[in-house]
Copies of this chain bind each other. A is one copy, B any other.
Amino acid sequence: MNATDSARAARKAAGPLARTDSSERRAALDAMAAALNDNQAAIFEANEQDLRNARENGLSAPLVARLSLDAKKLRGLVEGLGTLRDLSDPLGAIQVRRELAPGLVLERVSCPIGVIGVVFESRPDALVQIASLCLKTGNACLLKGGSEALETNRKLHAVLAEATAKAGMPDGWIQLLESRQDVDEILSLDREIDLLVPRGSNAFVRSISERTRIPVMGHAAGICHLYLDVAANAEMAAAIAVDAKTQAPATCNSIENLLVHAEAAPTVLPTVAAALRAAGVRLLGDEAARRVVPDMEPATADDWDTEYLAPTLSVKTVPSLQAAVAFVNEHGSRHTDAIVTDNRAAAEEFIASVDSADVFWNCSTRFADGFRFGLGAELGIATGKLHARGPVGPEGLTTYKWVLRGSGQTVAPFADGAQRFTHRDLPTTGGAK
């Protein structure tokens, strides 16, 4: 099947999938978990082949480790399916209920988006996580994983497609794309695909969004900031800076720039720099910062816009909180930025002024994550401002539909004043929105 046919098959399945009920989708998630357990040997065999190819192609040890799908990772996936199964149903929530006139009742009801295309990294566990999140939210999906994981992804896709079909999900709801050309091909299919979620490098994400009219959700870069205010506690600042930079340096919510109020630099920066150094961080500083911590390397202009994804950190002094905000809004990725201060008013000004998805006070930027936020699952982090912003959980994969149920009403009598709208709000079920 070519990519266009895959997209059409997904679109065809999207309607019936949207009409499955919560218990049917729960049963399908259970079927996924059982099938992963039952097909362990075949999955590991496929993964072994990917690993052999990777070693032959000289992939680095960390990449090989990410590519590997072992019994422990599989157990984690099965557990994740159980968690997702038990999350409340994001579909069918009545978010608005309003009588427009006697016998004419409006509802806004959550429903699936439809068909979602996700391009993800060379980590085969991602396929299971994304597929299950789509199933939970009633969305058909087109999945394109890393080429290094092709054999594993093929096997996982076959296992999950078969298990969910047996559990009553519509044929074709889960489609595997296998090449970059497949991805290029679907970019023009805006009638078949409702949303694209490209996960990967800055250049890749930009290239996708420049070549398609399909809405794109995600983030291109993660240049996150930590700002140490004039009233920052030095020990807290050091602990947060070390966590935000070193707890997982290759992640998008790690910090790349440390801003320090000029007045706080002499007292706070030495402690923070020592802690970062002790944790193995290479520091690059502007002139004023290097006057306080002289053995930092000098930062160049490019450093303020560089996502290192490594234990390197640029350090800049700023004359005021307002200057820190302006710097974050200019150089940041509208992803996650944090302030450390004992001054509540300063914190609230930073929170109100920084134009990012996540704005934190006195805690690590690494908390920016769907699981840590309690969303139950995460598709990725979005830095756009429309639809879902920040960590995207199940709710971000839903939209809504306005349903109006009447008894023959027409607009004419309302337009000429013979009838008036009552606009009376009625109880809703709340739930996902």
Interface residues of A (CB under 8 A from B): 14-15, 18-19, 95, 98, 100, 104, 106, 113-114, 194-195, 209-210, 213, 215, 217, 233, 236, 239-240, 242-244, 247, 329, 347, 351-353, 355-364, 366-368, 372-374, 384-387, 389-391, 399-412, 414-415, 421, 423, 433
On whether the beta carbons of A243 and B412 are closer than 8 Å, the reply is yes
Residues of B within 8 A of A15 (CB): 329, 353, 355
- In the bound assembly, the distance between CA atoms of A431 and B195 in angstroms comes to 27
Q: Are A385 and B113 in contact (CB under 8 A)?
A: yes
User: Would B243 and A401 count as touching, CB distance under 8 A?
Assistant: no
Q: How far is the CA of A104 from the CA of B360 in the complex (A)?
A: 10
Check B411–A373 contact: CB distance below 8 A: no
Q: Tell me how many chains of this kind the complex includes.
A: 2
Q: Interface of chain A, helix or strand or loop or mixed?
A: mixed
What CA separation (Å) do A9 and B404 show in the bound complex?
42
Determine if B243 and A106 form an interchain contact, defined as CB atoms under 8 angstroms apart. no
Q: Among the listed B106, B373, B385, B404, which residue makes an inter-chain contact with A194, where contact means beta carbons less than 8 Å apart? A: B385
Kindly list chain B residues whose C-beta atoms are within 8 Å of the C-beta of A423. 374
Is the pair A368, B98 in contact by a Cβ cutoff of 8 Å?
no
Residues of chain B lying within 8 A (CB to CB) of residue A421: 372, 374
Chain B residues within 8 Å of A363, by CB: 104, 404-410
A-B pairs, 10 with minimum CB distance:
A363-B406, A243-B410, A374-B423, A366-B411, A386-B387, A236-B408, A363-B409, A360-B404, A387-B387, A385-B399
A415–B351 alpha-carbon span in the complex (Å):
26
Taking the closest CB of chain B, its distance from the CB of A190, in whole angstroms, is 9
